[in-house]
C-alpha cells in the first residue's frame, strides 16, 4: 500500500529539454579533443579518441527504428537521480521501438563480468521513478580493467543480443568505460559503451556538463541539515558545530553549502593548497573567529569542513607520502609491541618538516595515520575524522589563550559528518 506522498512522487514528471519531447535524429558535429595530454591519450585510445560531438535535432520521419537491446550498470557511490537516469533510458528505448529491451546488470560492473542480470520492464521501472538510491539493480566498485573481464562482458552481451552498455558512474567508472569501449571497438564487437557522469561531489564537469546529477540534491539535503543545526545553535547559544561534508577530492559541496547556509567558517581545500597553509594556520583562523564571537558574547557557531582537507594541506601531503614509503611492508615497525615504540620509530625517521607536522597532531590522529593502512600499506586518509582533529586542536589553542589571559569566554563543541544522508 503506497502512501499519498509516494503516489504524488511517482506522478511527478521531470522537466526535459524540449527537443526530447519529440522524435529526434542524431547529428554528428566536430571531433572532440582532450583538454590536455592529447598525444598520449590518443596513443592509449587510438580507436575511440576524437569521436564527434553528437547532438539531437527534430526528426519529422516517424519510421520505427531497428530493434535494440541495451544494458545498464550503476557504478560507485549512490547519487540522487540514478533511478531516473534508468527510467529515462527505458522510456527513450521504448519510444524508439516498443520491442527494445533494457537489461540491468546487478551489483555494479561485477554483474557484467559474473553474468548477473535482469530485464527491466515497465512494472519494475515505474516502482523506482523519482526515488533515491541505486537499489533498483544495486551498485558496486569492481573495476573493469582486464581482458578476461572484457570478454566475460562480451559473452553475456552476445547471449542477450545487447548492442550498447550504459555505465552510470563517476571518474573512475567512466575511465573504465573508456577502456572497455576502446577494447570492444578495437575488436570490432559492435557493442557501444556510453558513460553517464555521476557524482554528488560535483567535480565531473566541462563545457557540456554544468553539474553532474546528484550534486544539487545532495547539497540541498546537507544545507537543510546544516540550517537545522544553525537554528538549534542560535536557540541554545552554547555549541560550536564542526561539520565535515562528503567530497574527498574537491570542496564543491562545502562551497555550495556555505553559499546556501552562510556559516561562520567554511574551509575550502583548494584555497588551503594554493595559499600553502599548514594545519596550525587553519586552526589559528578558526580560533580567531571563535575568540571574536566569544568576546562579543556569542559562544556558538558553525564550521564547514571538506572531507578531503588533510590531503590538500601541503605539509600533511608530504607527511602522508613519507609515512606511506616508511611503513609499507616494514617488518621492523610491524614487530614493535606498543604505540609509544611505534610513534618514536616514526618520529626518528621522518624529515624535519614532516616530524614537526606529525608531532603537532593530537595523539589519536597521529596514531590513526601510523596504524590504519590499506592493503597496499598506504595511510587511509578517508577514515580520519577531520572535524574531531580540528575540535581537539582548537580546544587546546583556546585553553592556552585562556591561560595567558587573552580569552575569557566559553567553548563547547560538537562534531558531525554529513555524507550518506545526501545520497
Q: Tens digit of pLDDT for each residue in 4-41? A: 999 999 999 999 888 888 888 899 999 999 989 999 99
- Write out the DSSP string of 351-408: -HHHHHHHHHS-HHHHHHHHH-B-TTS-B-GGGS-HHHHHHHHHHHHHHHHHHTTS--
- Comparing CA positions, the residue from 32, 29, 30 lying closest to residue 50 is 32
Residue 162: what are its φ and ψ, rounded to 5°? Answer: -80, 125
Confirm whether 288 is a catalytic residue. no
Per-residue pLDDT of 347-364, as tens digits, reads 999 999 999 999 999 888
Alpha carbons 220 and 204: distance in angstroms, whole number: 18
Q: Look up the pTM and report it.
A: 0.91
> What is residue 377's predicted lDDT score, i.e. its pLDDT?
61
E-assigned strand segments in 225-341? 240-245, 265-266, 301-306
Catalytic pick among 28, 114, 135, 201: 201
pLDDT tens track for 249-296: 889 999 999 999 999 999 999 999 999 999 999 999 999 999 999 999
Which domains are present in the chain? 4-23+65-198 (3.40.50.450), 216-422 (3.40.50.460)
Q: 370-377 — which CB contacts under 8 Å span 24+ positions?
A: 370/323, 370/327, 370/342, 370/343, 370/346, 371/339, 371/342, 373/327, 373/328, 376/328, 377/324, 377/327, 377/328, 377/329
Name the one residue in this structure whose C-alpha cell is 573567529.
289
Amino acid at each position: 500500500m503506497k502512501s499519498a506522498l509516494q503516489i504524488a512522487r511517482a506522478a511527478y514528471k521531470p522537466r526535459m529539454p524540449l527537443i526530447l519531447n519529440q522524435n529526434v535524429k542524431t547529428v554528428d558535429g566536430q571531433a572532440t579533443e582532450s583538454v590536455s595530454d592529447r598525444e598520449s591519450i590518443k596513443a592509449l585510445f587510438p580507436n575511440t579518441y576524437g569521436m564527434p560531438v553528437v547532438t539531437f535535432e527534430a526528426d519529422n520521419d516517424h519510421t520505427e527504428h531497428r530493434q535494440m537491446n541495451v544494458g545498464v550498470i550503476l557504478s560507485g557511490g549512490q547519487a540522487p537521480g540514478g533511478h531516473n537516469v534508468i527510467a529515462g533510458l527505458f522510456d527513450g528505448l521504448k519510444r524508439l521501438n516498443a520491442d527494445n529491451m533494457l537489461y540491468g546488470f546487478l551489483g555494479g560492473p561485477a554483474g557484467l563480468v559474473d553474468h548477473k542480470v535482469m530485464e527491466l520492464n515497465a512494472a519494475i521501472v515505474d516502482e523506482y521513478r523519482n526515488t533515491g538510491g541505486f537499489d533498483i539493480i544495486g551498485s558496486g566498485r569492481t573495476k573493469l580493467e582486464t581482458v578476461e573481464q572484457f570478454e566475460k562482458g562480451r559473452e553475456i552481451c552476445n547471449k542477450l543480443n545487447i548492442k550498447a552498455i550504459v555505465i552510470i558512474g563517476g571518474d573512475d567508472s567512466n575511465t573504465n568505460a573508456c577502456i572497455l569501449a576502446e577494447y570492444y571497438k578495437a575488436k570490432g564487437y559492435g557493442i557501444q559503451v556510453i558513460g553517464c557522469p555521476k557524482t554528488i561531489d560535483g567535480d565531473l564537469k566541462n563545457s557540456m556538463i554544468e553539474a553532474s546529477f546528484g550534486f544539487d540534491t545532495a547539497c540541498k539535503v546537507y544545507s537543510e541539515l546544516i540550517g537545522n543545526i544553525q537554528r538549534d545553535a542560535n536557540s541554545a547559544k552554547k555549541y560550536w558545530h564542526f561539520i565535515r561534508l562528503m567530497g574527498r577530492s574537491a570542496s564543491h559541496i562545502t562551497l555550495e553549502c556555505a553559499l546556501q547556509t552562510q556559516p561562520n567558517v567554511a574551509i575550502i581545500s583548494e584555497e588551503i593548497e594554493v595559499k600553502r597553509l599548514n594545519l596550525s594556520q587553519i586552526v589559528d583562523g578558526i580560533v580567531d573567529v571563535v575568540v571574536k564571537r566569544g568576546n562579543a558574547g556569542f559562544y556558538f557557531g558553525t564550521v564547514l569542513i571538506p572531507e578531503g582537507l588533510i590531503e590538500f594541506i601541503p605539509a600533511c601531503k608530504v607527511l602522508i607520502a613519507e609515512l606511506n614509503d616508511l611503513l609499507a611492508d616494514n617488518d621492523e615497525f610491524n614487530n614493535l609491541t606498543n604505540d609509544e615504540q611505534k610513534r618514536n620509530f616514526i618520529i626518528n625517521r621522518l624529515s624535519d618538516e614532516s616530524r614537526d607536522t606529525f608531532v603537532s597532531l593530537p595523539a589519536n590522529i597521529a596514531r590513526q595515520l601510523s596504524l590504519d593502512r590499506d592493503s597496499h600499506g598506504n595511510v587511509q586518509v578517508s577514515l580520519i575524522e577531520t572535524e574531531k582533529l580540528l575540535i581537539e586542536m582548537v580546544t587546546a589553542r583556546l585553553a592556552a589563550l585562556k591561560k595567558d589571559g587573552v580569552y575569557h569566554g566559553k567553548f563547547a563543541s560538537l562534531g558531525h559528518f554529513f555524507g550518506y544522508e545526501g545520497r
